[in-house]
Amino acid sequence: MRLPIFTISLLLLVSVCRVQACGGLFRIDPKDHYLFYLGYPEEKYTEWKARTEKEFRAENIDYWHKYVNKKVSAKDVEEAIYSGQLPSSQYKFFNYLIENNDTLALKYWSIVNAPDNYSWNTSEWYYPTSKESHPESSSFVSNKLNINTVAQCNDKGLRDRFAFQLIRRAFHTASFKLCIDAWEKYGSAIPESALRTQCQSYYAGALYYTQREAEASVAFAEVGYFEQWLHYDIDVLRQVYRNQPNCPSMEFIVQQIVNAYFDKCNARDLGMAGWVTTMKKKNEFDALANEVLADGKTNNPALWKSAQAAMEYIGGNKSIALKLINEASKMKGTDAVKENVRLMRTVFLAADNTTGKAYEKALLPDLKWLAEKVKSDSYYCVEHYMCFENFEGLEQFRMKVFKRVVLVEIVSHFEKLGQPERCLAYLNMFAEATGNKHTVEIKPLPKDADPMAWGAFMDISSGEYYYHEGYRTDYGTRFFVYADTARPETLKKYMAFINTKGKSDMDKFLLSNGYKDLDFCNELLGTKYIRMAQWDSAIAYLSKVPDKFLMTQNIVEFLPQRNPFREEWITNYRQGHYDLPILPAELYAEEPTKLNFCRIMKQLQDYTQSSDPTVRDNARYAYAVAMYQMTQLQAWPLTRYCYGVVNTLPDLYYEADMKTTHMQARELADKIISSSSDRNLTDKAFLLKYILLWPEAEYIFSYKFYNDWDHWQLTDKKRDRYYQLCVNALVKEWCSHNKTTLPDGYIYLTFCDTEQDHQ
């Protein structure tokens, strides 16, 4: 027996691609972003190394230029001392020393440039391990360069340089005790200079390798050194402050202590003991900060006060934090600290829910300042909701703060007040400040691009997934995400707002720094009404959108390729055949636009009320097919702006609308089955019901645990079982309706290899 549309088979495999989000599609987690930033270790170390090397070279040339009473030019001095050659008359500087019989200086340069086995690593910045001591180099140090060599030098400047070479050579040969002794006896007497900085950095390294880590950290900090040897501990900070109240590394140590507190407070497994220890360290820091501020010795008091403010905010004491940060903003501080104070104050003001109507007035100056900073940064990043950053650097940190201020604090504030349209105004300003682009040059798809391919989507990608060389990013911002998923009333209120000149100063700032395009809003609102199947409203708004604007959307490439009235699940020559006064598939093919689709759907909706049973039931079927396909892969450009494996607005966001449209499609299929005598049409209706089963199973199970992978796996089995049961029930319903029975062992429904058996 041949079944006209269906065969019952165990071979059914429904291939459905599910979009798995990577998390964080719209909001950002404040726990992922530090509040306190004055520089990363790598930045500070690179800066320190470059600065000290440059200073040392300039200082070294200047010293030797003066040493020879400027009888030799600075250029000739530089050429000789950085030649790496032993003293000889071919260099004017060395020749001067030879002519004046300066044996001590000649001995010094013979030691510095000696071709010995020290050459295994000549970088003065290389830190060896204790296993890398070389006997030959150690011998060189003991025989040619030792404490006595330094002691015999009467010239203070030359003695300092002999001391430097001894400290340096001792360190590089892992003679750490000699390195420490040389520093303590001679190096520590060197006046503040690049030479002293380099000597002390070697001394600090020697302390580190002799397990005197706390002392090493203090020494490293005092020279402004930033690397893995610098420990970020309150005891170290205390000692550094007492030795050198304005130590260059103070900012960085304070930053690391504050951020360590941030990490501890946000740790899931901290436990009671861990919490007690964390609070104890916080109190210790508070006590030290109060001591520093009371002493009046620091020229950077804003650093300490702002660190206290950050810790209070992290601990949840937001009102105290705001009070402290306002105090810090009036104190002296370095440029980096002053900027960090203002960045934190912007966050604190945005999170302050106690000011009522004064909220925006208090926030405006700092928000304007931050927006301008982000705009002017050389770091450029189009704000895109698929963008996952792992940035380091001041410009990137400003962007993180800007995101936290707008996406977390401001949006949450106005959502609590029930003003989502205000959220849209801020998000629009945010998108513009972060590089949103609105112009596009439409170009054809590459010849090898499949216009029907899963994953082909419009102009929202920040990377390799867009087809156009010039592309607009209007459909890739968080403003778009919020607008596309908001209620129609919210978008209408926002459209009314951008048509005004603004009442408050904040209104004027948002309007002058936002992108006002009613065509964009009308098209978005019309699309929203398509998803809601409100055709009159959709037609009203889409009619306002000019063709010129529509041609800037990349979906224009895909709309002609995806006909919503042609069933993708049956053979091509049978697709889109309806016994109706109109030909929906052909009408859409003539003008593949959203507006024309709405007009066709409105006609079909009217035909579903026809007194002619044939017209009525065929209209029901065509309408149901389009209702399903406009939310799925076959005709996604009608209701979405992206779709595919990189889809960042997956079904979860459209779930309510999709459930409604699919429910209507299922209800219409049931009406056809119950009222039509056309076996071909009722079989198609059964097939449509079958097609709808998988999305239903997805809704019931998968999306409930959208961001939890463990629950994804757990519910997959339940979903699959539910789907099997539904398929079996549908097969039995079909058999009952057609008064037929199933062959033994068959439990799945299929459609005969894309319905090729249907003649």
pLDDT in tens, 493-529: 999 999 999 999 999 999 999 988 899 999 999 999 9
- Residue type for 453, please? A
Query: What is the pLDDT, as a whole number, of residue 292?
Result: 96
3-state secondary structure of 738: helix
Cβ-based neighbour number of residue 43 at 10 Å = 15
Q: Which helix (H) or strand (E) holds 722?
A: helix 709-738
Backbone angles phi, psi at 740, to 5 degrees: -135, 170
The closest of 7, 30, 23, 154 to 407, measured between CA atoms, is 30
CA distance 500 to 62: 66
341 closest CA partner among 389, 385, 306: 306
Torsion of CA 381, 386, 388, 394, to 10 degrees: 20
Per-residue confidence (pLDDT) for residue 416, from 0 to 100: 92
- Per-residue pLDDT tens digits for 165-216: 999 889 988 889 999 999 999 999 999 888 888 898 899 889 988 988 778 8
Which of 589, 566, 602, 756 is CA-nearest to residue 7? 756
User: What are the extents of the domains in the chain?
Assistant: 1-29+518-527+535-699
- Measure the CA–CA gap between 691 and 568, rounded to whole angstroms: 11
Map residue 393 onto helix, strand or coil: coil
Q: What is the pLDDT of residue 33?
A: 74
Q: What's the half-sphere exposure (Cβ side, CA atoms, 13 Å) at 407?
A: 25
- Counting as low any pLDDT under 70, the low residues of the chain are 1-32, 40-48, 115-144, 225-231, 268-269, 378-395, 436-473, 571-574, 643-657, 699-715, 742-759
pLDDT of the residue at 582: 93
- pTM for the model: 0.74
Which two three-digit tokens encode residue 243? 């030795």
Residue in the structure block whose two tokens are 């650097």: 393
- Torsions phi, psi for 465 (to 5 deg): -90, 0
